[in-house]
């Protein structure tokens, strides 16, 4: 993994005009995202730097030092702001599919890798009821800075995105050729490997994988985080099934096509499907149906790379929406019993049969998610990776705050100015919640000091949405760039009849086509 990353970084240093070794690069999306933009071959490529909406806040650009002395301890912020005492269901009937699709999508577009030589531990407040019950006062949660490179022109520390920036279903196929080939059932009509019960293949080849590269009991997919929790593993499985279903259909209709040709056509289809679901169902559910303007075509001048602000805090909104349990429901609507989220980390055995994929997908569609706010369930905030061998139990919120500081994320008003938004001059302008205002005032001296992750979640929601103003603008801008700056976006790439085929489908159709579930609402992002 480290060698591949170093090679990717070397390739990213080149800003010269693209030179194609293969004419396919003009017509086919590459696994690593290279050559998508013909004049800027590394835009959106895996192993290349994140870009930014606003200037970083590093006081030492090269070393990436942040002014942290005036900021509160991340775990203290987590305890005082994000402590969720009871379920707070969202007020718009959004289902758990929303945060689960968001996690899958995030893993399609972004991946940080830890720099083990750069520890940045998170101090645990003395007497912390979870992490320092004996009041030792000298404990810390493990945290490492993101692998970065030094910008050649700016000489600024720049965190690196291991995945392609594009929405290209890399969660199914991977972002490098080695992983992509291992996942394929080569010379078998374009199919992907599966194991018994039409589940994902196991990691028999020691590829980088959450839960251990040498753990052959963990499933393998295009992204190493597949086994993190049971809902994520389930939706990964669903889309590998959809690839194989569609590959068989293409092969039957086109017997003259080779294994490689069927694979490419099917990969193109699944990538298009992922894009369509994101823009037609997921984003409208969160932001309202008219938040993102209609597609008008590819623009080669748009840089599609993932912005630091988006990946480091804005798109982590889903952590506040996660439910404490994963519901399981059969086709008739019978409740089969929930899986406790904190007991599902890296436990692929919970996907115990072929039919569990259907039960869990219908369960996710049948339960209202938590509100997008400043409250987070214990399973993520206090017991992340509980009982996972060789893993320290963690606090995801503390990690989010520390990651923003690691990446030098600027203050909220500098960020808002980059979008032409008015600055906040007081905490009461952010939210009408007086209790939350008081908590913010107790932790931070002024608005500009507040970690952006905290403030964008504290914002009152815009009418008809589940987002505040700042986070809405970040998401709209990022997803517009990902669509309009992608030469292979499905509406730009596919012929009209195939675009129409994709647009006729919904996520509910994919569930029905690949599981035993036939009784499910049309729009699974909302609970009936």
Give the residue numbers annotated as catalytic, written as ranges.
107
CB contact set of 469 (below 8 Å; sequence gap of 6+): 421, 459, 462
**Contact of 160 with 147, CB cutoff 8 Å:** yes
Nearest CA-CA partner of 453 in 318, 323, 342: 318
Tokens found for residue 524: 């699974």
CA distance 433 to 431: 5
Place of tokens 């675009």: 499
Q: Is the dihedral of CA 371, 427, 308, 228 positive or negative?
A: negative
Query: CA 368 → CA 93, 320, 322, 371, distances in Å?
Result: 6, 13, 10, 9
CB contact set of 152 (below 8 Å; sequence gap of 6+): 13
Place of tokens 């499933």: 219
Place of tokens 């969660």: 171
Q: Is the dihedral of CA 374, 375, 381, 385 positive or negative?
A: negative
Which three-class secondary structure string do you get for 263-310? HHHHHHHHHHHHHHHHHHHHHHHHHCCCCCCCCCCCCCCCCCCCEHHH
Neighbours of 118 (CB within 10 A): 14
User: What is the distance in angstroms between the CA of the first residue and the CA of the last residue of the chain?
Assistant: 44
Nearest CA-CA partner of 232 in 244, 245, 218: 218
Phi, psi of 145, rounded to the nearest 5 degrees: -65, 160
| Bridge partner list, 86 | none
CA distance 67 to 442: 20
Q: What is the tally of helices (H) and strands (E) in the chain?
A: 21, 9
Alpha helices in 377-505 (DSSP H): 378-381, 396-406, 412-418, 434-443, 452-458, 469-484, 490-493, 496-503
| Bridge partner list, 148 | 159
Place of tokens 């009982």: 387
**Contact of 394 with 101, CB cutoff 8 Å:** no
Q: What is the DSSP string of 115-158?
A: EEEEE--EEPPTT-TTT-TT--S--EE--EEEPEEE-TTT--EE
**Contact of 309 with 452, CB cutoff 8 Å:** yes
CA distance 158 to 51: 8
């Amino acid at each position: 993994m480290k060698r591949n990353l170093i090679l990717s970084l070397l390739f990213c240093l080149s800003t010269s005009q693209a030179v194609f070794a293969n004419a396919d690069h003009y017509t086919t999306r590459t696994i690593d995202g290279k050559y998508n933009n013909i004049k800027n071959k590394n835009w959106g490529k895996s192993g290349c730097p994140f870009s930014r909406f606003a200037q970083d806040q590093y006081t030492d650009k090269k070393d990436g030092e942040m002014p942290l002395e005036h900021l509160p301890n991340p775990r203290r912020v987590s305890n005082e702001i994000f402590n969720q005492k009871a379920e707070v269901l969202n007020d718009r009937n959004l289902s758990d599919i929303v945060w689960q699709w968001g996690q899958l999508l995030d893993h399609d577009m972004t991946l940080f890798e830890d720099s083990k030589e750069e520890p940045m531990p998170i101090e645990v407040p003395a007497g912390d009821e979870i992490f320092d019950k004996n009041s030792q006062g000298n404990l810390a949660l493990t945290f490492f800075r993101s692998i970065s490179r030094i910008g050649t022109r700016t000489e600024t520390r720049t965190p690196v995105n291991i995945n392609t920036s594009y929405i290209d279903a890399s969660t199914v196929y991977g972002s490098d050729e080695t992983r992509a080939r291992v996942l394929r059932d080569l010379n078998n009509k374009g199919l992907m490997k599966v194991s018994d019960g039409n589940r994902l293949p196991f990691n028999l080849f020691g590829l980088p994988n959450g839960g251990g590269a040498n753990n052959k009991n963990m499933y393998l997919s295009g992204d190493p985080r597949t086994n993190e929790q049971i809902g994520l593993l389930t939706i990964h499985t669903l889309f590998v099934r959809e690839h194989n279903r569609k590959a068989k259909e293409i092969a039957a209709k086109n017997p003259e096509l080779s294994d490689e040709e069927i694979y490419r056509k099917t990969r193109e289809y699944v990538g298009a499907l992922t894009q369509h679901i994101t823009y037609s169902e997921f984003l409208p559910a969160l932001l309202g149906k008219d938040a993102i303007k209609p597609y008008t075509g590819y623009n080669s001048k748009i840089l599609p790379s993932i912005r630091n602000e988006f990946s480091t805090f804005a798109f982590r909104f889903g952590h506040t929406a996660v439910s404490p349990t994963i519901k399981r429901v059969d086709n008739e609507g019978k409740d089969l019993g929930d899986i406790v989220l904190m007991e599902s980390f890296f436990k692929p055995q919970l996907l115990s049969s072929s039919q569990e994929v259907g039960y869990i997908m219908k369960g996710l569609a049948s339960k209202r998610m938590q509100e997008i706010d400043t409250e987070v369930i214990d399973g993520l905030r206090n017991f992340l990776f509980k009982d996972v061998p060789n893993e320290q139990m963690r606090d995801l919120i503390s990690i989010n705050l520390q990651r923003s500081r690691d990446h030098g994320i600027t203050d909220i008003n500098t960020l808002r100015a980059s979008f032409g938004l008015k600055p906040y001059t007081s905490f009461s302008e952010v939210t009408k919640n007086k209790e939350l205002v008081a908590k913010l005032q107790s932790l931070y001296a002024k608005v500009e000091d507040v970690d952006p992750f905290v403030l964008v979640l504290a914002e009152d929601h815009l009418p008809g949405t589940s987002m505040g103003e700042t986070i809405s603008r970040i998401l709209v801008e990022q997803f517009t760039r990902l669509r309009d700056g992608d030469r292979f976006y499905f509406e730009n790439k596919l012929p009209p009849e195939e675009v129409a085929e994709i647009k006729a489908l919904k996520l509910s159709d994919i569930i029905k086509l690949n599981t035993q579930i036939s009784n499910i609402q049309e729009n699974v992002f909302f609970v009936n």
